């Protein structure tokens, strides 16, 4: 039974996570899972992000437009991502809690370091198709287990040297498409059912409210400074989860 106090906590967390996504374009599952796992079971934290990821990124894709063009450019990445997420979601239901928390910490740490460290080498155009299959597969493995597949996605887009608008369009579409098999897989694995499914669906509202707030903040704040602050917080979260896993 999910307590009223936890529902209030989750609502506040998803407002914050949505505002981070609205400001910098990514980071909703990383923020939500990273914070919630400090207070509750890792599987519950992962399950709750399923519907907010789906709907917030659907909204982002709709707002950014150029869906067909983006899909033509990144269909290989999307296909590998969706297949691997569908194949790996069952692992989350069966993996040892300590190992799951450790993996979450490592993925969140990787996410923050990926965005804080300088650009990866430029990806030559002739290797783009192969890079999409590899990055999409790796992203799918991580996403199916932890519901966070931003690190390989960000590294690939940075290596491709996409501009700001294409980054937001591509990341939004890839995260949206990946969230479809994630929701189905979690449902089949029994992670997204009953009270958990209802609470995940309810968290769509604070996520979108936070997203709208983040869009306002994006226009008023220095986005780069805010982004670095968020990434430093994620870095601490990741290290804390790794320490928690060691002490479990």
Whether the pLDDT of residue 20 is over 70: the answer is: yes
Whether the pLDDT of residue 158 is over 70: the answer is: yes
**pLDDT > 70: what percent of the chain?**
97
How much is the mean pLDDT over the chain?
86
Q: Which of 65, 88, 91, 107 is nearest to 245 (CA)?
A: 107
Quick check: pTM over 0.75?
A: yes
Rounded distance between C-alpha atoms, residue 36 and residue 38, angstroms: 5
Residue 192, pLDDT score: 85
Q: Which of 245, 95, 103, 86 is nearest to 178 (CA)?
A: 86
pLDDT tens readout for residues 22-66? 877 777 888 898 889 888 888 898 899 999 999 988 888 887 778
pLDDT band at 1 (very low <50, low <70, confident <90, very high): low
pLDDT tens readout for residues 109-142? 888 887 777 677 889 999 999 999 999 999 999 8
Residue 31, pLDDT score: 86
Whether the pLDDT of residue 245 is over 90: the answer is: no
pLDDT tens readout for residues 159-199? 898 887 788 889 889 999 999 999 998 898 888 888 899 99
């Amino acid at each position: 039974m999910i307590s009223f106090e936890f529902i209030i906590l989750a609502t506040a967390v998803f407002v914050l996570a949505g505002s981070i996504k609205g400001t910098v374009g990514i980071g909703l599952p990383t923020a939500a899972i990273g914070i919630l796992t400090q207070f509750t079971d890792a599987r519950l934290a992962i399950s709750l992000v399923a519907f907010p990821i789906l709907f917030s990124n659907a909204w982002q894709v709709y707002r950014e437009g150029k869906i067909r063009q983006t899909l033509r450019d990144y269909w290989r990445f999307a296909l590998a991502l969706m297949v691997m997420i569908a194949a790996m979601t069952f692992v989350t239901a069966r993996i040892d809690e300590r190992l799951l928390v450790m993996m979450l910490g490592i993925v969140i740490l990787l996410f923050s370091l990926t965005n804080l460290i300088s650009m990866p080498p430029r990806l030559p155009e002739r290797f783009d198709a192969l890079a999409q299959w590899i990055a999409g597969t790796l992203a799918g493995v991580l996403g199916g287990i932890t519901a966070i597949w931003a690190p390989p996605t960000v590294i690939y887009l940075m290596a491709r040297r996409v501009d700001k608008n294409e980054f937001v369009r591509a990341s939004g579409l890839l995260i949206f498409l990946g969230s479809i098999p994630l929701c189905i897989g979690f449902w089949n694995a029994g992670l997204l059912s009953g009270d958990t499914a209802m609470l995940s669906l309810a968290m769509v509202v604070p996520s979108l409210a936070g997203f709208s707030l983040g869009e306002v903040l994006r226009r008023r704040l220095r986005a780069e400074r805010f982004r670095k602050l968020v990434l430093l917080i994620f870095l601490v979260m990741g290290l804390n989860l790794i320490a928690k896993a060691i002490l479990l």
